A and B are shown apart, each in its own frame.
Chain A
Amino acid sequence: MSVLSAVCIPSILGFLTLAALLRDTPFRRKDFFLLSASIPTGLGICSLLLFVSLLLSPLYAKPLSIGLSLGLIFLLLFRLRAPGTFPKAVFLPEALRSINLKDKASLFKNTLALAGAVLFLYTAFTIIQFYFLSVSTNIGGGWDARYFWALKAKFMFRDPAEWQLMFSQKLPWSNQGYPLLWPGTLAWGWHSLGQESPLWGPFAALCFYIPCALLVVWYLAAHHTAITGWLGGSFALVLLPPLFWAIHQYADVPLAFFMTACGLTLVSALRLNAPGLFMISGLMGGLAAWTKNEGILFVVWIYLLLGAALWRHPGKNMKAPLRTLGIFALGTLGPLLAVGTLKYLARNAGVPINDLQHPLEFLSSGMERSGMILKAFFDYMNPWTGWKGLWGFFILAALLMGFKRQGKSYEGLLFLIVLLTYAGYFAVLLITSPDLPWQIQTALDRLILHASFLATAFVFEMLTFDRNIPPK
């Protein structure tokens, strides 16, 4: 059976979930959003369903998880059964429908957009070619992929009845309490295929990597112009660190996807005041927490920023900011419950207290460590080969933002999400692990990539001066 068959149920489930949440939510490029987010969202939900099945009935986890996902699909189809609920865009992409060859002004824009689309497709084709060439030489991925993430998936697949052995204290250095989205995705695919196929991992990783760039295309095309979207997406594709870690099948790329999706849908939701989008943003934030511990920190920042944004601009239509916060919280609920349950199961395998800096030691070496971390951030963000000047553009965009009146465009929110994400990582590096150089060497590049797609969207939003397209 082809590995692609393992994507069938997740893609349908993800599409229907998002379509149900987006019903009656008017925004541009809905088709592109569904295209970019359906498969990763579906894979995230399927990993949750597998986790629930393992908790409910370990022995029958495989049929139960597939049954639950099919049941959810039928439930969503039932909800969406009313005529006209499927966006027309699904059948005829909006980008095509908007082309008007008779109008000379729009012909210029369409030509530009077409050129941008060609550039994006060419870049995506080249990158995908390179991706398959690279993964074929190392199908199992890097250290963490083989020995942390895939190991957990093996416990979930090979003997579901004994899956909780993954939390055993006797397992050395296997990060027992780490969230399970990526291992769940691997195990889901293996269950669907009926075997532990080595080919599934690379395909699944690609299912998260390419949508990161598609999200950037969607967001910029929806809020600016099509050409901005295509160029932003092309730029996101040529950033080498995300590509490198996708090839190595680390969970950082799925985390980057969910963080990007959460941030971009949150800004869209605030601009449009759309409850469905708040729910989607919450779901994406929750799935980020279900992917890696860094995602839990991210959700905390998002809650704080959303609270601050609602408090600052309660708005005429936003009569109940608490209700909005509640809708967002409802989206995060499922994944966060799963994270809580997982942390409870692995409660004896948390962060060892001796990994934290002793207060006296912290006071004496805090300045030195801070300097070391800041220098490391600079060194890792600087290389042109990897980041193509993204962080230079980011600083320029931040400076421009300083001169620009924000109003209710919430562009500053993207900047704050990126800034707080890195500030959080800075603080964590500062207070944990005595072996800072080792931690920087092994983790910092991956930590930086988490918010890189959000940074790309922010840069293109600030450095292009096209008029914002009003929401449709």
Chain B
Amino acid sequence: MMESAPTTILLTGSKRSEVSGVQILWILIYTSQSLMQTQASPLPSAWIRFLPLAGSLLFYGVTVLIVLTSELPSLRPNVFFLRDQLLAGNREIFKLQDPGIVFSAFTPFLPAQKEISFITDRPYAPRDQATEKLQIAQGWVAPRVLNPDPGEETALIFCSSGAVAEARMKATGYRIVKILGDGKGIAEKIP
């Protein structure tokens, strides 16, 4: 019987020095099983009452210690102002956090078509850092679909400079119809 070995050590006292943590754990398990399954146990009833309670209290104590000593990451000092705005329901200040706001200049000039090409400094490549620009723009212009391939009639040009925009439009077959900044604008496909 696996269960009886550690019990014997504890009860006889002859090998008290050999009682290890694992064996004590074993006793705890055994007694808790006995309690839950109402099996007859060779341990004195005082132990049966005490050990599960002690085991539970030990675990509760550890839990309370963990909860009370938990630390949260540090925050920037301006967050209290923003938190108050959030709880006050001030939406406008948070609209400024949308990175898509840089595309607000395009909004009045967006074409009726639902599918538009998106031309930026480099051709589209998945997991390229520049992809985020496309994702940000897509979020702003939805429900229109931004196609990274230069195949649509109209294109949204969003390059870092006018020279780069010129080169990219030449390579993809577009001409500018509305300039909205340096390297930014709306272009149409050259037939």
Contacts and interface: CB of A to CB of B under 8 A. Distances in A.
Interface of A: 2-3, 119, 123, 126-127, 130, 132-140, 143, 146-147, 150-151, 154-155, 158-159, 162-163, 165, 168, 170-174, 195, 197-199, 202, 227-228, 231-232, 234-235, 237-238, 240, 385, 388-389, 400, 403-405, 407, 438, 463-468
Interface string B117-152: 000000010110001101110110011111111000
A122 to B, nearest CB: 9
Contact of B64 (A119, A146, A385, A405): A119
28 contacts: A2-B89, A119-B67, A133-B79, A133-B82, A136-B82, A138-B97, A139-B97, A151-B139, A158-B142, A158-B143, A162-B143, A171-B145, A172-B131, A172-B148, A174-B138, A198-B94, A231-B60, A231-B63, A238-B66, A238-B70, A240-B72, A385-B71, A404-B32, A404-B33, A405-B37, A438-B127, A465-B53, A466-B56
Given A119-B67, A134-B79, A147 B89 contact: no
A174 B98 CA distance: 19
A400 B142 contact: no
B178 interface: no
A162 B89 CA distance: 30
A136 B86 contact: yes
Contact of A134 (B63, B75, B114): B75
B85 interface: yes
B91 interface: yes
B86 A227 contact: no
B63 A235 contact: yes
B181 interface: no
A2, A135, A170, A240: residue with the most chain B Cβ atoms closer than 10 Å: A170
Given A163-B143, A388-B66, A135 B86 contact: yes
A403 B89 contact: no
Contact of A171 (B64, B80, B138): B138
A91 B148 CA distance: 57
Interface of B: 26, 28-33, 35-37, 51-53, 55-56, 59-60, 63-64, 66-68, 70-73, 75-76, 78-80, 82-83, 85-87, 89, 91, 94-95, 97-99, 114-115, 124, 126-127, 131-132, 134-136, 138-139, 142-149
Given A139-B94, A465-B53, A389 B35 contact: no
B29 A227 contact: no
Contacts of A174: 138
A467 B36 contact: yes
B37 to A, nearest CB: 6
